[in-house]
A and B are shown apart, each in its own frame.
Chain A
Amino acid sequence: MTQKQTLTMITQRSIEEGIAMEKGKNSREYFNACSVIEMNELDMLRMGIEENTPVRVRSECGEVIVKAIYGIQTLSPGICHIRQGVWANQIVPGRTQSTGVPQYSGFPVCIFPAPNEKVRSARELIFQAVGMGGFTDAKNS
């Protein structure tokens, strides 16, 4: 029986995310900074993933579509990274080991190529998750 291939996900801050966040979470800069997954080249090759194409990242509690890129800060095989923010938190497990802190880093994920999927905006992801999907186009801001 073949085992599921998993990578270890780390979600943390990056300076690109920090600057973009201050411009606004609906900004193009925030979308570009946070809706990407950094991966090792060998892992991408092994999984049949091309650079700059969408992938489906699945964890124990959810999944998200993000764009795959080579690690900007070098990543070893087996480790992947989504910058903290709306996309990362679609898959962060809420388990806290009784400390209050969710498992933001060091949880297993499976990654699949999804070249035909669309990377959704921060507002779309949040609004749909909380049942306000119908309001995404309303004048909210």
Chain B
Amino acid sequence: MLALDAARSAGAQYADVRISRNRVQSISTRERRVQGLSDNETFGFGVRTLVGGAWGFAASSDLTRDEVARVARQSAAQAKANRAALVKPVVLAPAPVTKDGTWRSPVKTDPFDVPIEDKVALLLAANEAALKVQGSRFVNSAMFFLREEKTYANSEGTFTVQTIYRASPTMTVTAVSQDFSDFQSRQSTDIAPMGRGYDHVLDAKLVENAPRWAEEAVQKLSAKPVDVGRYDLVLDPTHLGLTIHESIAHPTELDRVYGYEANYAGTSFVSPPEEKLGKFRYGPEIMNIQGDRMQDGSLGAVGWDDEGVQPETFLIIKNGIVNDYQTTREQANWLDWWYKQQGKPTRSHGCSYAQSWADVQFQRMPNVSLLPSEKNLKWDDLIAATDRGIAIVGDGSFSIDQQRYNAQFGGQLFYEIKGGKITGMLKDVAYQMRTPEFWNAMDMIGGKDSYWLWGAFGDAKGQPTQANAVSHGCPPTRHRGINVINTGRKA
């Protein structure tokens, strides 16, 4: 409150303050040893002010009364400096006031209450299980936990307190050929990071899964190099989540669409909104893409975003057509005409986020998910329906252009499909795609029983780059006639 008062006295029409305490614990191992064990805490606050339509932001780790007032004034002074080149003033869309909100991630066991010995023992047992597999040479495994206690207040009267958790257990097994001519790794991409507690680590069953990952790494050494060409692709949710992230979630960020990220993350082919909303066919009729910050255990789940807005669930793509974009309070007004046309209120979807107290909040993606089809198809049904194709499991190498047209994706495991059956393992596979063609080539979507939440910690955007954590839910899909290249070369 002191910060908000000081900001108002310094001329701010609007101000908000975030105070956060982030505790992070990470444990990393390789083979039979612990490589790193760290426990980190950072505590501080950031004040954002709006003066004459321009933003200012300042932050400090010193929470004394004098410093809080100084930082609030510094934020307002910066906003005044930033007004110098102002062309279009910032106007915030209205948001309901939450006077006293509390929210907590759905955590059964707080990871910081679990003894270190138990965590170390679990990782080393998993490593041992992987090393028992003939041919597996190296194993890296790790656990990462975050607990963020975040208090938010703004000058309109909103006040919220949230406790957000994230947990990520990971493992990579590497096999090296006898003559040192090849090495192949298998990452545990079927275990996604989640907005859950230690219960997620236990559910991941690292010890039980480790031998399979090791066997798959060894198998990759003798897999058949892929023949280049066009194939029908059957994509597992452990792979598809990343493709959704890059080719749907990023291009529907509204700040990119309006050029705000042109210098780094890029712009978007889904622009201008006047020509895309309600008109542009992204994919087939069966394709529905939802934005939300609600799904149980998802990384994007919160009670309120970083400008005090309760997020809502919204359809970004409806029956294959572009229907909405991801927004903050500043951006919702840019689509006022569309919401009026649809008979909807103009409000933020709740997509404001900052990675820490030291960083300014801006538009970040919520969970962006492909909804399952009504037919309850499963992975095996998609394989059985495919005559000549490649099934891809797990995400691997990925790259996409700055407007999100041209992408190239690898994976963890590749299987040849012939006559509706998996006939063997392939390697050196990557597919190249143009986003609208790739999604319009989708002709099968799995049902709700095969829906799975993929997740990532490292969603990067902004300058300075801030890391966002999001989940992308999806069932398996099939895409017809996609261009596959062979990435193997001789050194």
Chain A bound to chain B: no
User: Interface on B for A, CB 8 Å cutoff?
Assistant: none
